[in-house]
């Protein structure tokens, strides 16, 4: 964990707490001393911060679109926070190396498999499953229900930022069983990710219903 990441965690909690109250449910489902891939819905630029705070002090490395790394100051900050760039639509093989290195060192990688900033999942892409299967690490499904942005009016409303953590999805890894076995393992993991996120979304809606 970099010094900037540590300081960000210390400072962000009281700052974001002005706008919403963090509610983390299912912390007991977080895997222990091993790397894992987080998959979550994506509602705005601030939800990675809420997810990171929910898992604090565990460092979380989010996958971010490559365009955000174009300007030097933002590139430096994102790198210090553990983020790494990826090409939207189809990540290059070289872009997969970084998350694999993080996972091999028992780190945590955050991926938004829907690939959108919409609360509703439009379909799960294979990137998260491919990374998890290749590394042989579990996938941790998370559903975020809360503000996707920071707005001054939320100070008076003080909404709830709910981070609902599901049971981890195990992966067997690609191993020595060949390309077809790996491909099927990725497809199976994609289906499980999609099902778990939908289940968490339904549970979150039921919990917030009047």
pLDDT, tens only, 99-126: 999 999 999 999 988 754 444 455 567 8
- Total domains in the chain come to 1
Range of the domain at 107: 3-208
φ/ψ of residue 85, rounded to 5: -85, 155
Tokens of 136: 């042989």
pLDDT at 177: 61
- Coil/strand/helix, residue 171: coil
**Whole-angstrom distance between the N-terminal and C-terminal Cα of the chain?**
41
Among 62-66, 135-139, 201-205, where is mean pLDDT lowest?
62-66
- Cβ neighbourhood burial of 175 (10 Å; 0-12, 13-18, 19+): exposed
8 Å CB contact between 124 and 194: yes
Average confidence score pLDDT of the chain: 85
Cβ partners under 8 Å of residue 33, min gap 6: 106
Burial class (CB in 10 A: 0-12, 13-18, 19+), 203: middle
Cα separation, 175 vs 181, whole angstroms: 9
Decide: pTM greater than 0.85.
Answer: yes
Place of tokens 């599901």: 166
- Determine the Cα–Cα distance for residues 16 and 67; give it in Å rounded to an integer: 25
Polymer length in residues for the chain: 210
Q: Residue 27's pLDDT band (boundaries 50, 70, 90)?
A: very high
CA distance 125 to 129: 8
């Amino acid at each position: 964990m970099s010094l900037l990441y540590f300081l960000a965690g210390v400072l962000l909690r009281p700052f974001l707490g002005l706008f919403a109250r963090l509610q983390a449910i299912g912390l007991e489902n977080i895997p222990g001393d091993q790397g894992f891939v987080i998959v979550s819905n994506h509602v705005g630029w601030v939800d990675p911060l809420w997810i990171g705070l929910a898992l604090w002090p565990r460092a979380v490395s989010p996958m971010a679109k490559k365009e955000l790394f174009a300007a030097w100051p933002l590139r430096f900050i994102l790198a210090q926070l553990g983020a790494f760039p990826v090409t939207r639509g189809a990540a290059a093989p070289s872009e997969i190396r970084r998350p694999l290195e993080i996972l091999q060192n028992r780190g945590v990688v955050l991926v938004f498999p829907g690939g959108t900033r919409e609360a509703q999942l439009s379909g799960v892409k294979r990137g998260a499953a491919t990374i998890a299967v290749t590394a042989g690490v579990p996938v941790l499904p998370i559903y975020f229900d809360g503000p996707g942005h920071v707005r001054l009016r939320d100070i008076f409303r003080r909404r709830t930022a709910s981070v609902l953590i599901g049971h981890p999805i195990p992966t067997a890894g690609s191993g020595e069983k060949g390309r077809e076995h790996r491909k099927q393992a990725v497809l199976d993991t994609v289906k499980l990710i999609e099902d778990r996120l939908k289940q968490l979304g339904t549970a979150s809606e039921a919990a917030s219903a009047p």
